Amino acid sequence: MKVIRYSEEDKIKELLERKTLNLNGVLASVREILENVEERGDSALIDYTKKFDKFDLTRENIGVSREEIKKANSRVNEKLIKALKHAHRNITRFHEGQMRRIGEEWNIETEKGVIVGERVTPIESIGAYIPGGRTSYPSTVLMTCIPARVAGVKRVAIVSPPPISDAILVAADICGVDEIYRVGGAQAIAALTYGTESIPRVDKIVGPGNLYVMTAKMQVYGRVDIDMPAGPSEVLILADKTANSRFIAADLLAQAEHDPSARCLVVTESEKIIEEAEKEIAKQINSIKTRETVKESLKNSAFILTRDTEESIKFANQYAAEHLEIMTENPEEVASEIKNSGAIFLGEFSPVAAGDYASGGNHVLPTGGTARFSSVLSVRDFLKTSSIQRITKRGLLALKETIETISNSEGFDAHRKSVEIRFNS
């Protein structure tokens, strides 16, 4: 891994900008897929699944049956089922805590006779995209479907490229998912957006995917809601001289194995920590099965050498990492200065892997610096609010002159008259 001094402005600027994913190469292909599925429905899904996944999809096997889910449960290792249930319990507890704090109706009397409030209601149907291909991701089923269920979404569907692993089916069963479809790629996003003969449309699509999936989600936004565009996974470890270099190396390697495009950074004022972590990476990398992926990912990675912790915090806020680990003498104190991060992990016994799987927080996070303005997936993403207004005659009279003055200034005569008529004898 290269070492960059924070004073090297051009190199720091390049890191902060993160080369934007080039969507131009896939835009036309994705648009064609979306239009084809909208027009041809199941027939298009069958053709694309044969072409891209080499799987013989039919109208009869697009949906996964209860019998198939039952068989998957019988084949999956009991230890994995126990682990998924443990993670499900903690993730549910966390999101139920969120729901208690944001799910209540409320109102306020803005002036005598004018009561304005807010009602919170769940989205009626959502579709979760669960990636396949490189590996199986039952944890993503938990992270996308549990908050939807806690929020009160009536219909939860998942789509995933075939063949769908038993682990994904078991996780879906634990979450009480209503429908599972063997469709992946941009065509799955199209099916959830427009609906086909076999797959009813949904109101919102969540979950990570490859470049085609991300591009499709961005193109269908407006017909449905989406959670966020997801780029390569990333971690930033903010460390001081007290940090454990073995833990730093282990956490870098853990993040690097996600994908060859993953980004892993360490920001520290300690040259000694950098030297020790480099030695640990070289020592630990040979013991992991995913080392070829890790080696590619580490080419995108770097150590950032700063003058002090204050400068490290400044870089962390500029970078706005998906995951931020704080390994310092006083991590809570440092965390109080962090404004931009998807998820923050405090102390040397809080690795990202805990948040990825079992601690309870969600692992669907903003990437690519978007933590400057967006948030972790939560029950909020599955809720919508409506304002409720109850105005008495006395209350409207108190507002009458203000309404008339503003509506006149905007040239809306009928707005003014809609108030006046209520006071005409």
Confidence tier at 229 by pLDDT (50, 70, 90): confident
Q: What CATH number belongs to 25-103+123-226?
A: 3.40.50.1980
3-state secondary structure of 41: coil
Of the ranges 11-20, 76-85, 182-191, 354-363, which one carries the lowest mean pLDDT score?
11-20
Distance CA 283, CA 279 (A): 6
Residue length of the chain: 425
Q: Residue 391: pLDDT above 60?
A: yes
3-state secondary structure of 391: strand
253-310 confidence digits (pLDDT tens): 999 999 898 999 999 999 999 999 999 999 999 999 999 999 999 998 999 999 999 9
401 φ, ψ to 5°? -65, -40
Q: Break the chain into its structural domains and give their ranges.
A: 2-21+231-360, 25-103+123-226, 392-423
Domains 2-21+231-360 and 25-103+123-226 fall in the same CATH topology: yes
Distance CA 229, CA 209 (A): 9
Distances (CA, A) of 163 to 43, 134, 136, 301: 19, 12, 10, 33
Going edge to edge, which strands form the sheet with 263-268? 2-5, 302-305, 263-268, 234-239, 323-327, 343-346
Q: Model's pTM, two decimal places? A: 0.93
Superfamily of domain 2-21+231-360: Nitrogenase molybdenum iron protein domain (3.40.50.1980)
Name the residues annotated as catalytic: 322-323
Query: What confidence score (pLDDT) does residue 408 get?
Result: 96
Q: Residue 395: pLDDT above 80?
A: yes
Q: Are strands 106-111 and 114-122 parallel, antiparallel or unpaired?
A: antiparallel
Distance CA 18, CA 26 (A): 20
Q: Which residues contact 82 (CB under 8 A, 6 or more apart)?
A: none
Q: Residue 340: pLDDT above 60?
A: yes
Tokens of 163: 């063949």
155-210 confidence digits (pLDDT tens): 999 999 999 999 999 999 999 999 999 999 999 999 999 999 999 999 999 999 98
